[in-house]
Structure 1
Amino acid sequence: MMNAPLNMGKALVLDGNSAPVAVPPMPDYNGRVVAYTATALIIALGMFEGLFGANMYGLLAGCLIWPHIACYLSRRTLLRKSNRIRQKMLMLDCIFGGACIGTWGLILVPSAAVVLMIMFSCLIVGGIRQWLLGMVLLVVSTSAAVALNGVPASLQAPIWTTLVSLLATGTYICVTAYYAHQQARSLMLAKTQIQNQREQSIALSHKLSKYLSPQVWQSIFTGERDVRLETQRKKLAIFFSDIKGFTDLSEEMEPEALTELLNHYFNEMSEVALKYGGTIDKFVGDSIMVFFGDPTSRGQREDAFACVSMAIEMRKHMKIMRQKWRSQGIKTPLEIRMGISTGYTTVGNFGAENRMDYTIIGKEVNLASRLESLAEPGEILVSYETFSLIKDRIMCRDKGEITVKGFGRPVPIYEVVDFRRDMGPNRSFLEHEHSGFAMYLDSEKVTEKERQSILSALEDAADRLRQEDV
C-alpha cells in the first residue's frame, strides 16, 4: 500500500567499457504490487479463517486493482507533470491503508503489518516530513473507518493470519531493502567513475591551458567567456619584442642547442609577463607579443604602466641571462629590443568555428611591431599615447617622429629610460660590464643572507684587482 521507496532517480553503474549506464531502481509499480499483494493475502486469509466479514470483498478487490490505477494516474494523466507525484500517490496509499485497518477493526498484527509497510515507505521516500504527514492521514482515515464499522470484541488474529501478516511484511521490507542496497552500490560505483572522470578532465584542462594565456584559459573554464567567433573594441597596451643577433646565432649553434636556448628565453620572459598581468598572445620565431587590458583590465593608465614595467624588467633580466649564456660558451651578444603602443584594437576570437585564435588586430598592433623593429638593441620605444599615460612614473626620452602606414600624420615616439624612482643615487638596479667583468645588481631583490655573500664576493674581487695593480 505504498510507493516503492527506492525510486529516488536512476542510478549509474559501469558497463564493460567503463562508461556510466543508467540502471533504474525498483519501479513504483512493482513496489506497489508487492505491498498490495501482501495486504490482499492478509485479507483473503483473514476471511478464510472467519476473522473478517463479507464487507472485506471490496477492499480485497481494491488491493488487487489499485496498483494498476495508480500506475495509470502517474503516467497517463496530467499528474505525471507534477514534480512530487510519488509523494502525492503515497498519501493516497496512506489513506487506503488506514481504510483497511479501520474496516477490519484494528486487528493488531494485520494492522501493525500495514502500518510498518507504510512507515517504511514514507521514511525512505520523503523523510520525517513525509512520515509525519503520512501518519496523520493514516490516523484520520483509520478513525473514519472505525467510526463506520466499529471495533470487534477481540483484537487478536488467528495464528495463520498472524504468521502470514508477519511474513508478508518481512518479505516486502527485505525486497525493498535489497533494491536499496543495489541502488546504493550502483551510486557508489557511479561516484567513483565520476570522480575519475573529473580528475581526468582536470588533468586534461591543465594540459590544454599550456596552449592558451592563463587569463584566457581562466575566463573560458569559469564560464565568463564563450568559445565562439566574436570580437570587441577595447583600448589595450600592445608589446612586441625580439632578439637582436638571434639570426647570426642560429647559424653558429646546433638546432637542438638553439631550441633549448630559445625555450629557456621564452620561459623566463613569460614568467615576467605573467607577473605583471600580461596576456601572452603568441611566440613567432624569437618574437613575443603580449597585450594588457583584456580579458581583465586595471584601467588604461595602469595597463600601460604594467606593460612598460614588464618591458623594463625584461631588459634587466636579459642582461642577467646574457651573462649566464656567456658562461655556457655563447659568445654572440644577444640583446632584446622592444616596442609598445597603446590604443583601440579589435580583440576576440578569429578564425573558423572549428579552429579559433584569440588575438588582436588593428593599426596599433602594426605600430607596436614597427616600434620594435626600429628599436636599437636594449632599447624600449613607446608611442605618444603610451608616453602620456606613464610619463609621471617613468622617465622617457624624445626620439622624434616616424611615419607608419595607417596613420595620417607622423607618430611621435619616445625611448624608455627607467623608473623615476630608480633614477639618481637611490636607484635599485646597477650594471657595469667590460671584457672579463660583468655586474648586475638589483638591490630590491637581494635578501639579507644573500647580501653578506655578495659583499664578500665583491671584496674578494676588489682585493684581486688591487693586487694586480701592484
Structure 2
Amino acid sequence: MMSAPADLRNASNSLGKSLASEAQNRSVAIPPMPDYSGRVLAYTATAIIIVMGVWEEVFQTWHLWLVAGALVWPHVAHLLSRRTFLKNSPRIRQKMLTVDCVIGGGFIGCIGLVAIPSASAGLMMMFSALIIGGIRQWLIGCVFMVVSALAFLAVLGTADSFQSPLLTSLSSILATGFYICVTAFYSHQQARALMLAKTQIQNQREQSIALSHKLSKYLSPQVWQSIFTGERDVRLETQRKKLAVFFSDIKGFTELSEEMEPEALTELLNHYFNGMSEVALRYGGTIDKFVGDSIMIFFGDPTSRGQREDAFACVSMAIDMRKHMKIMRQKWRSQGIKSPLEIRMGISTGYTTVGNFGAENRMDYTIIGKEVNLASRLESLAEPGEILVSYETFSLIKDRIMCRDKGEITVKGFGRPVPIYEVVDFRRDMGPNRSFMEHEHSGFAMYLDSEKITGKERQSILNALEDAAERLRHEEDSARE
C-alpha cells in the first residue's frame, strides 16, 4: 500500500498539473504573424519583383497580370479560409500554404527560372512552410512547388538568360529579406510570449501545489486524495459500508488542564495529536476529527483492504498507540509533567453511513450509525491503557490478537446486551519470544521493541543497560554497608 506522504505528493502533483493546464487554457492566445498579413507581405514582395523585372525588360510585359493576381490573391485566400465552409477545416492553414507553394512554383515557371527572382520566391515559400508546418509541410511544399514550376516551364519554356539585372536582383533580395525579417520578428515575439506564459504557468502550478498542501491539512489524506484526483465528487451523498470505528481520549486530561497554563497545555495536546496521527496514517486509518482530547478514526473508506484486514489494522494501530504513549509519557515527564497520562480506546466494527454531511457550501466527511455510538461507549468504559472491542471486531482479529472476555454491556440502540473484549497484545508477542518489553517506575522507564532495533543500535543499548545495572548494584552495595 502506498504511504500517506506518497499519496499526498501524487495527489498534489495531479492537482498542480490540472490547475496548470487550466491556467494555460485561460492564458491569452499567442499567435504567430497572422496568415493574412504574412500572405499580403509575401505577395506584395513578389509584385515588386515582377514590376522591377518588367521595367528592366527581364520579364515580359504580360507578366504585369501576375502583379494583379499577387495583390488580389491574399484577400481571396482570406475570404476562402474565414468566410466559407473551409473555415471549419482543422488543417486549413496547411492546405492554403500548399496552394501558395503551387502558385509560387507557377510564378517561377512563368519567369523562366531566372535565378535570383526564382530563388527569392522559393525562399519565401519554404520559410513560410517551415514556420507554419515544420519539416513535413516543408517537404510537401517543396514537392508541389517543383511540380508546378516544371509544369509551367514545360509550357512556357525557360528564359533566354538565367541572370537578372542589378535592380531586379537587388529588389528581389531586399523584398525577400524584408519578408524574412518581419516574419522572424513575429516569431521572436512569439517565443518571448511563450517563455513568459511558461513561467507564468509554472508559477501558478507551484502556487496551486502549495495551496493544495495547505488544504490537505484540513482533511484526512485518503479523503483529500480521492477528492483532488477526481475519484470522489464533492457533493452531498452517503453510502452504507462496513467499517472499523476507533475512539480514544486521555484519562485525566481534565484535571491536567486545570493545572497547566493554556499555552503549555496546547503544546502538549498538539504533540499528542501529532504522534497519534502519524501512527494512524501508518496503518491506513482515516482520521475523522479531533474533539477536545478525543480522536475519532475509521478504517474501510475511502479505501479498504477487506473487512478482516481493516479490523486488524485498526486494532494494530490501537496497540501501537498504547506503546507510543509510553514514549510520550517519558518526554512529558522530562518536561515536568508528572501526571501519568493514559489513553483509553474503544473499537467497534459494523455497518455505518459514511459520506458528506452538511450543506452544499459547507460539508463534513464523516460517519454516523449505532456502531459509532458503540465505539464511543467502549472508549468511555475502558480503563486507562485499556483497549475494548466489540464482538464483531473480536471475531475478525481473534486468530492474530489475544483478547480477554470482559462480559456484556447494554448500549442504547442495541436490543440485546453487547459482548465486549479487552485487547491484550499480538499473539506473536506473547510468551518468551515476544519482541516488546516495558518497565516503568518512578525515576526509571524502559520501552523495548527488539524488532525495530538495528544491529548498530543494539550494542549501544546493551552498553547503556550494563552501565545502568552497574550503577544500581554499586548504590545497592553502598546502602548495605
Q: Give the corresponding residue for 2:339.
A: 332
* Matching of residue 359 in structure 1 with residue 366 in structure 2: yes
Alignment of 1:21-60 (within 5 A): 21-60=28-67
* Matching of residue 126 in structure 1 with residue 133 in structure 2: yes
* Matching of residue 315 in structure 1 with residue 322 in structure 2: yes
The amino acid across from 2:189 in the alignment is: Q
Mind listing any 5+ residue stretches in structure 2 that lack a counterpart? 1-25
Matched residues in 2 for 1:311 and 1:436: separation?
27
The amino acid across from 1:414 in the alignment is: Y
Q: 1:323 to 1:151 in 2, by over 3 A?
A: closer
Alignment of 1:306-455 (within 5 A): 306-455=313-462
Deviations 1:242-268 (A, max 9, x none): 001000100111111100100000011
**Contact 1:229–1:348 (8 Å) recurs in 2:** yes
SS of aligned partner of 1:237: strand
SS of aligned partner of 1:223: coil
The amino acid across from 1:195 in the alignment is: Q
Q: Relative to structure 2, which stretch is displaced further, 198-207 or 333-342? A: 198-207
Matched residues in 1 for 2:140 and 2:309: separation?
63
Q: 1:391 to 1:44 in 2, by over 3 A?
A: same
SS of aligned partner of 1:366: helix
Deviations 1:167-224 (A, max 9, x none): 1111100110111111111111121222122222222211221111122222233232
The amino acid across from 1:191 in the alignment is: K
**Pairwise CA RMSD of aligned residues?**
1.8
Q: Give the corresponding residue for 2:81.
A: 74
**Contact 1:20–1:193 (8 Å) recurs in 2:** no
Q: 1:365 to 1:152 in 2, by over 3 A?
A: same
TM-score (norm 1): 0.92
Deviations 1:367-392 (A, max 9, x none): 11111111111111111111111110
Alignment of 1:228-307 (within 5 A): 228-307=235-314
Mind listing any 5+ residue stretches in structure 1 that lack a counterpart? 1-18
Percent identical among aligned pairs is 81
SS of aligned partner of 1:176: helix
Q: Relative to structure 2, which stretch is displaced further, 458-467 or 106-115? A: 458-467
The amino acid across from 1:267 in the alignment is: N
1:46 Cα deviation (Å)? 1.7
1:20 Cα deviation (Å)? 5.6
4+ runs of 1 displaced by more than 6 Å? none
Q: Give the corresponding residue for 2:149.
A: 142
1:464 Cα deviation (Å)? 4.0
SS of aligned partner of 2:249: strand
1:21 Cα deviation (Å)? 4.5
Q: Relative to structure 2, which stretch is displaced further, 27-36 or 51-60? A: 51-60
Deviations 1:57-81 (A, max 9, x none): 4322111111111111111112111
1:418 Cα deviation (Å)? 0.4
Q: Relative to structure 2, which stretch is displaced further, 232-241 or 144-153? A: 144-153
Matched residues in 2 for 1:98 and 1:462: separation?
100
**Contact 2:403–2:422 (8 Å) recurs in 1:** yes
**Contact 2:319–2:425 (8 Å) recurs in 1:** yes
Matched residues in 2 for 1:252 and 1:357: separation?
34
Matched residues in 1 for 2:472 and 2:52: separation?
116
Deviations 1:14-45 (A, max 9, x none): xxxxx964454311111000000001111122
1:346 Cα deviation (Å)? 2.1
Matched residues in 2 for 1:166 and 1:303: separation?
79
Matched residues in 2 for 1:260 and 1:319: separation?
18
Q: Relative to structure 2, which stretch is displaced further, 151-160 or 84-93? A: 151-160
**Contact 2:30–2:194 (8 Å) recurs in 1:** no
Deviations 1:90-148 (A, max 9, x none): 00101111111111211111111110001111112112211111111111111222222
Deviations 1:324-380 (A, max 9, x none): 222322122211000111122222222222222222222211111111111111111
SS of aligned partner of 1:50: coil
* Matching of residue 205 in structure 1 with residue 209 in structure 2: no
Alignment of 1:148-227 (within 5 A): 148-227=155-234
TM-score (norm 2): 0.90
The amino acid across from 1:210 in the alignment is: K
